[in-house]
């Protein structure tokens, strides 16, 4: 039997100005992959650059312009662009436009990293509404993710 998640279905929350919605939590495929929809506020700078040791990650840009950085290489991704960060490849991303939100789908394989996104909501934002990079990195470390460089 196929699984259908209708529009608006799935757990949703916000953390540090970013909105998240789980589209696929991995249950239907024994945890092999999961997908989260992310909406980035205008000018959102993104998480600290990092690399994953236990999962691959891909991003499909739906709206807006998303800046991806890997090491010192920068790429601008617009709607319809797919960006993949395999295990061990440093990366970060942020909204390249300071006027318009951007949205993307983030797929992780295996799905375990979806819990990282959920736990972001438990971090306390600073006075500017942004999450502390040190808190983000500490949370990432629980999911086989480390800072780069």
Supply the pTM of this predicted model.
Answer: 0.92
* pLDDT at residue number 1: 81
The answer to whether residue 47 is domain-embedded is yes
CATH of the domain at 57: 2.60.120.10
Distance between CA atoms of residues 142 and 65, nearest Å: 30
The answer to whether residue 58 is domain-embedded is yes
The answer to whether residue 11 is domain-embedded is no
Distance between CA atoms of residues 101 and 91, nearest Å: 20
The answer to whether residue 66 is domain-embedded is yes
Average pLDDT for 81-107 = 98
Number of domains present in the structure of the chain: 1
- Domain residues for 106? 23-71+81-123
The answer to whether residue 113 is domain-embedded is yes
**pLDDT tens column, 56-79:** 999 999 999 999 999 999 999 999
The answer to whether residue 115 is domain-embedded is yes
DSSP readout, 82-147?
EEEE-TT--BEEEES-SSS-EEEEEEEESGGGHHHHHHHTTSPP-TTSPPPHHHHHHHHHTTTEEE
Distance between CA atoms of residues 19 and 29, nearest Å: 25
- Please say if the pLDDT value at position 6 is more than 90: no
The answer to whether residue 106 is domain-embedded is yes
Q: Which residues contact 8 (CB under 8 A, 6 or more apart)?
A: none
The answer to whether residue 86 is domain-embedded is yes
**pLDDT tens column, 110-131:** 999 999 989 999 998 888 888 8
CB burial class (10 A; 0-12, 13-18, 19+) of residue 135?
middle
> Two tokens at 24?
């696929």
Neighbours of 17 (CB within 10 A): 19
């Amino acid at each position: 039997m196929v699984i259908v998640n209708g529009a608006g279905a799935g757990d949703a929350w916000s953390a540090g100005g970013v909105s998240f919605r789980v589209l696929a939590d991995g249950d239907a495929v024994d945890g092999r992959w999961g997908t989260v929809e992310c909406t980035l506020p205008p000018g959102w700078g993104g998480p600290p650059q990092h690399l994953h040791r236990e999962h691959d990650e891909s991003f499909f840009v739906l709206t807006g312009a998303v800046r991806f950085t890997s090491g010192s290489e920068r790429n601008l991704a617009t709607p319809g662009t797919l960006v993949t960060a395999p295990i061990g490849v440093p990366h970060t991303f942020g909204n390249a436009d300071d006027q318009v939100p951007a949205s993307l789908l983030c797929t992780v394989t295996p799905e375990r990293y979806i819990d990282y996104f959920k736990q972001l909501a438990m971090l306390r934002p600073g006075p500017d509404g942004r999450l502390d990079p040190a808190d983000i990195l500490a949370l990432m470390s629980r999911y086989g993710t480390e800072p780069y460089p």
